[in-house]
Structure formats: C-alpha cells, structure tokens
A and B are shown apart, each in its own frame.
Chain A
C-alpha cells in the first residue's frame, strides 16, 4: 500500500504527515510524524504533496514443505490484521502473516499452511464445513500428525460439531483454534491458543475434532474441548469457550510439555469414516414468549428445523386449552407430518432435553418432535441435522440417526464434575 506524504495548510497552521485511507469527502485523516492520527475537515485546507511512501510490506513466503502438522485457515480474528481503509479488524488471507508473529511455533512442530477462506465466521454456511472437512481429509491422507484449523470464534462451535460428524474416527487430532483478541495486539490470546493447538495436533494422544482455547483469563494454559460439546459462552472474554454437559477433553500447556486428559477420549490411529455431504437448508429457531404460529408455519420451506426450546425443551403448546394463549403445536405437527424433522434442544444450554415431564413436552413428542433425552447443545443438534439430512431423506431414519450418538454429541450419563 502506498500513502501520500503531505503538508496540510489550514488557518495558518501546517500539519505534516501521511494521508490515511479512512479519509472521506469531508475529512482528511492524517498520520502525523508523532504517530497520532487526527481528522481535519477539508474546508479551508490546502494540500501540498511531498511524495509517496510504501507501507506494509508483505510477509515473506513461508516454506510450504509438508510439515508434521497442517495449519488450515478459515479466517476470523485469529488470522486478522488491522484494515486501514475502515480502521477495522479484517481477516487476512495469508497465514504467514500470523506465523511471522509466532516464532515459537517452529520449535513445537514443523508445519505447512493452507488458506481455505478469509472470512468472518458469522458469514459461514454449512457448505463451508464440507469444504473444510474435505481439506482435512486430504491432509490426513497425506500423513500429517495432526491438523490445526484457524477459525473465527463466533461460529467455531458449529464448525467443530459439523466436522466431528463428517470426520468420524479421525486417526489424528483436528484442532480448531481462534482468538478473542486479534493478533495485531500485544495482548492477543492467539499466541497461547495456537501454540497449544499445534502442540495438541503434533504431540497429543487425543484423536478427535475439538476446540482449543484459553481455559481461564490467564495466559497460562488452554482447554481442549470436544467438538460437539463446546460452545462460545462469552462475547469477548478469553475463556469464552466452555464444555457443555461434559468435562473438556484435556488441559494443554505446551510450555510445560503437558497434555492432561480430563475425560475418556478417542486415541490416535482410527480408521477415518468420511462423509461430508451436507444439507444447509435447516433452520435453528430460538423459542420465546409470543412466538407466532405464522413464523413456525413459514418454516415449511426448510428441510429440517431445530428449536432452542425453553427449559426442558418447550415451545408454546397451550397444554391446558386456556383462552387467549398462542400455541405453535399445530404448526409443529404439520411440519413433522409433512416429513420435515423437528428437533428439540434447550436454550438453557446446560442440562438435558426431557419431553416427558410436562404435558407440553408430551404433546410435542406426540407431534413428532425429536430430541427427548439428548444433552446436546442447540448448535451441535443443528449441525447434526444438517449432516444427517445430507445423506438421509427418510424421516423415520433421520429421527433414529439423530438420537444415535456418533461423535459424543449425546451422552447417556450427566456428569457431576465440572471445571472452572
């Protein structure tokens, strides 16, 4: 990028510096010699050009010999840079940008990088999961010891769940990793997260699809969470990712060469069962007081619906036939009857769906709602329905497959142990 070096004359005062791209019709944004940016209105300002200066050198190309691990980039804060045009943080397409800031990485493992997407994770769709799974598969076939996937945090738990279904019995670790503070900041959490992710991929005994992020607010160690049992639980904090209804798979601290398993896990050496067929035409609906039958009715255009129901897994059913109470039960039954699977999870996030306790639950079961007994997160249930519908159309078989645990998304036992 080239910046113009100028002298701006305004009301008898001269400002010298570079014109930054966030300038617009009304305002010139100037980077002064002392490093400060200031905005000056164009009115009454004359510009004296002094030449141009090249800024922001591109990162040197990282050698792409096949390394012990593959680092795939799907975008997000973790591979972002400051974008000067808008002044905002923007994903970078070049994983080398990030690795330049992490000289320690080479001490942990040799690696090669590949950029799949440069996007913010909220922009992803289920089709992106399929492409990522394909890329992981080809890395596994190349014989890597593990795969690290750089990903935006907003929907990382959707992707990790989806790839858990697509890459069953993976022989090597597939470690999603993100950052809550962008790598251009000295306090970025990307460093600890990526180094631990690389360590888990290279040395870890756990061959599962999972998420590696800060365990606490401290820059000390990370948790490795099972891909189907993890959820982003804070908008901004480092320890945003939590294992839900489960302990994390392990605690990871590369600096002490420590990976401490916290629960049972799949060991390395499995035989990959790959299936990345996906149906992205699935809705995830958050139930709320006043949910209108009309909205549920409109879900008929989808091939499947997941509800994040209230409490044990409810939506309004007007179980006691009270006057003036809305019910969406007929609309849900209509969806189900027409062959659109309706799946229930809970917006409580923690705990198990149980449609046997209240009349409402029983009515929903009678209407064909799937999910009673599942302790899945809404996102794991959603990704699973997308995946099941990718290869199965028969509603009965879909229902049966949904309730069969395939990647740890449903556990039969509700554990009582928890970590901070």
Chain B
C-alpha cells in the first residue's frame, strides 16, 4: 500500500441498529412510500450550552432562523419523536449490542453512561438536539498495517430524514427515521493510506454485522472520513456510501490541502481583508446583454462585489479535479442560499458579461492589475451575507477545518465549519446508566461470538471463497439459521448467494427471504424434493404459492426408494438417461448407489 507521508486519517462510522427506537417504544421501521398521517410545523433556536457558549455550527444555522416541516407516521412515531413527550428509558437491547461491540473492540467502557443533548438546529431533530452518549474509549482493532485505535464508541439516536428544502428555504423532514439507534464508532488517526482506510471501514462494518443486530439496506451505515496533512487542517468528509471510493477521496483531499498550501505561499505577502468594501455594481448592467443578470435585476436583485487584492490567477487554480479555488469560495456563498459566485478568473463572456462591463466593474471596484474580484447576483441582504462569508473564507491564511460533503466523483464540497465542543449539554430527562459487571456479561452473551470466531466457523463449513463471501453477506443471519436447521452448508450458501442473485437477474424478487428460506428448506429436509428443484420452486414461492402446491402443480416431488428402483429398471440402469429426464426429481447420488445394488 502506498503511504502518504504524515497523513492523518481516521474514520467515523454510524451504523443503525436493528432494535426498537432508542428512547421510545416505536419500531425502527421506515414508512416507505406512505403518505404522512400529519404534518407539523416547528421553529428551532440555538440555545446556550452548559458552558455558556453558543456552538459555531449552531450559530451558523441560527442565522437562517428557519421554520421546519415534519411528516408524521402514526405507525412508527409517537409523541417522543414529535418532541411532545419526554424520552422513555434507553432501549435495553440497543444498549447491550453497543456494550457488546465495545468488549469485542478491546475498549475501556465508562462506569456511568450519561446521555447528552448534542445541539443540532438544522431541523433534523424536532427537539433541536440529538441524544447521544459516550460509552467507551481507548480500544483497538488489528489490521494489515498494525493496530488501529478506536478512540470512542457512542450510542445515539438517528436524525429525521430530509425530504426537501423548499424554495422558501423551509426544510421538510420525515419523522419515521428519528430515534432509530445508531452506534457511532471513531478510530484514532492511525490510518496510513486511502487503501488502509477502506480496509478499516470494511472490517468495522463486518464486526458490526456479525452481531446480527446491524440494520441492513440503503443508508443504514454511513462513513465519515477525517483527513489532515502537515500544516493542513482536519477536514471531515461526510456521507461516504461506497467503500471503494475511499482511497480516491483520501487522495483528492490530500491534494486539495496541498494545493491550498501552495496558494497560501503565493498569498504570503497579501494582507488579509476580512471586511472588504462591498460595492453595488448594478448600474453597470442597466443595458446588459446578459439575460440572466437582466432577469435578476428586473426581479429586484442586485449585482454586488468586492476586490480580492493580489488574487489574480489564484481563483482559477485547480484544487480538486475539475474544481478551482473559486469553487471553494462559491461553496461559502452557497451556505447563504446562493447558487454560486462569478469571479474574474473566469471567462466573463460565458456569462454574457461584455468586456466594457468587466472593465467598468474593475474601475468601480478599484481593482488593480494583480487583483481579482468576486461578484454575486442576489437580493441585497442575501447577497451581502454571501459576500461576507466568501470574504471571511478568502481572508484565511491557513487551511480551515471544515465539514465537507462527498460528491459522487470523490471530490468534496464545503458544508459548514467543524462543530465545536460546546455543542453538548446533559439530557436531564434520563438518569445516568450504571455499567455493572452483570450488564457487561449480558451484553457479551447478547451479541455472540464476534467476527473472528464467526470467520473461523465459516471457513470450516464452506470453501475459502464462499466463506469470505458469506462473512460479508447480508444473508449471514439466514445462513446461520439454515445451518441450525441441518441444511448442508454449501447448499445453503449457494442458494442464498448464487440462486437468489440469478433469480433477481431474471426479475424474480423474493420479499421475505428469511421466512421463505426457512419454509423451503424445512420441506427439503423432509426429503420432499431434490436440490436441483430449488431454482424451479423459488420463483413460484415468490408469487406466494406454498411449497406443497408448487410440488404438486409442477410435479417436482422427489422420486426415491422403491419408486426410484422401478424407474432405474425401466431405464435399464442408464444413469445418463435417468438424469436427463428426471434431473429435477431424483438425487444423483441415490441413483448411483441404487444402480450398484440392482
């Protein structure tokens, strides 16, 4: 693996747990494609933390002062999600699962768990905070590059899912997801490369799934990657879904920080200007041929801008594939609700801005040859706020710590500052939880043997390739159940991993896989049909037809014993002939053995 010198990289994983909700007794299911039973409207305010400071990220959101809308589903929401009732005690199963995972990761579990309120005023929690608790610290896991520390494991509640941000700025959420338990796991910055980061993420995912209590499906696990290089800053890249993308994400972020360091070298002599003079340039465009500027002006928007001294050429410097330093600044304007900025390192003709308009702007802004400028088209208040944020970012002479959002191509965009540490205060509605030896014993029993034991067992049961696949499989739990019933391991594994996939390609989707498999194999173990008939039976079971009927309708009952003897004799003991005609009804091994006896 290639290593980036002095790269600091850690990963944070959020995994939903397949238990009841954390602080109420609603089920952890999503109301997919259902219409809400009610929509409620709320307003949130940032409040003070117990240390008397207002968190930076919270303050940024507060500036927006938004109302929020929430879809409510009676099936999986109650007054707790609505923030109309205090939380109930913590879900015991979720707590046991998290404690159990901590024991497997060699962690130091706290003696008393304190539930905290983590302030989140973007509307994703009706209360304005997410309930979270630090459960353990100072653990580690083994990897190909040595030990990677696990700094912290927390248990917390999932946020509400966003549906849309309306044109008015109002965000619309759904409450079915709110309150589902999450385990949050953060590694130390011990990861040495992008590939290593991927390995760690994969292994943690497998450890979590091996408990059998990890939720499966889209969005049930989220990875955030923390990256910094010497002289750079900690940047948290959120929303990594595809583990294969991790090496690329790390590489792009390292290069982004390096590129900005280069820019900062060039800006060394340029004084930082936090509050530049913002100039209204609308007059210049009174006869513009730029249709979008014209439209904006007619709608009452203004063209405003400011000078960035000594920045000529810098805004056009590429810092991520296809993204320039100007894009970085534009991301800050976007946090004020704008679509972006226009800057002088761009070809302004592309915007329909004529050369004389450009030079007039330069003149009004008093921009010198070596300067650059940034303009926006927006309603005045919003435009000023956007420009102020751009100016603040441009005035930094160091790489800022940031929370960024990953893009599908592995690049990232600025979201918000890193949350400060003042964002927590105690959840006063829930007592502290004492972690006793008894509780830990229960937790160990609850989550079973752990990943390594599981791996060993699978290697004993299956061939090496299938054992590897099964360990990562979403059907592991079903597999274990079938093995428990007495099904041959390879048959269970190939049915779950190959047959199901083959059928899906043909458009056959088996909805209740676990139940279907249990039904199928209980008949199989009764000797009612042979292995090769499985692929014929399953599509009909998918239609809801019981096994007995499928066997009857399709004449798939197993032929064996006396009946098979008769058949063999009828076919003059010709194995090939028999298999050709009765492949779906006879067991080759039995045929072979009977031929010998007859």
Contacts and interface: CB of A to CB of B under 8 A. Distances in A.
Interface in B106-141: 108, 110-114, 116-119, 121, 126-129, 132-134, 137-138
A29 B112 contact: yes
B67 interface: yes
Size category, A interface: 35 or more
Contacts of A41: 111-112
A89 B428 contact: yes
A218 to B, nearest CB: 4
Interface of A: 11, 13, 15, 27, 29, 31-41, 55-57, 82, 84, 87-89, 101, 181, 183-188, 191-192, 217-220, 235-238
B129 A219 contact: no
Contacts of B83: 181, 187
Given A36-B114, A237-B85, A184 B40 contact: no
Chain A at the B interface: SS class: loop
Contact of B426 (A32, A55, A87, A183): A87
B530 interface: no
30 contacts: A11-B108, A34-B134, A34-B152, A35-B422, A35-B423, A35-B424, A36-B114, A36-B132, A37-B426, A38-B111, A38-B134, A39-B432, A40-B112, A41-B111, A55-B50, A55-B51, A55-B52, A56-B50, A101-B48, A185-B128, A186-B46, A186-B58, A186-B127, A186-B129, A187-B83, A187-B128, A219-B41, A219-B67, A220-B41, A236-B86
B154 A36 contact: yes
Contacts of B128: 185-187
A49 B67 CA distance: 45
A15 B116 CA distance: 18
Given A55-B52, A236-B85, A82 B112 contact: no
A87 B542 CA distance: 54
B47 A183 contact: yes
B129 A37 contact: no
Contacts of A188: 45, 47
Interface in B17-71: 40-52, 58, 67
B41 A36 contact: no
Given A82-B50, A238-B84, A36 B424 contact: yes
Contacts of B422: 35
A181 B84 CA distance: 9
Contacts of A57: 52
Given A55-B52, A184-B48, A13 B138 contact: yes
Interface of B: 40-52, 58, 67, 79, 82-86, 108, 110-114, 116-119, 121, 126-129, 132-134, 137-138, 152, 154, 421-426, 428, 432, 434
Nearest to B112: A39
Contact of A185 (B51, B127, B137, B152): B127
Of B112, B121, B132, B425, chain A has the most CB atoms within 10 Å of the CB of B112
A39 B67 CA distance: 37
Nearest to A14: B138
A141 to B, nearest CB: 35
B116 A36 contact: yes
A22 to B, nearest CB: 8
B238 to A, nearest CB: 17
A101 B58 CA distance: 14
Contacts of B58: 186
Contact of B111 (A27, A82, A88, A181): A27
Given A87-B426, A220-B41, A13 B50 contact: no
A35 B127 CA distance: 19
A41 B435 CA distance: 10
Contacts of B132: 36
Contacts of B423: 35
Contact of A237 (B42, B79, B118): B79
Nearest to B128: A186
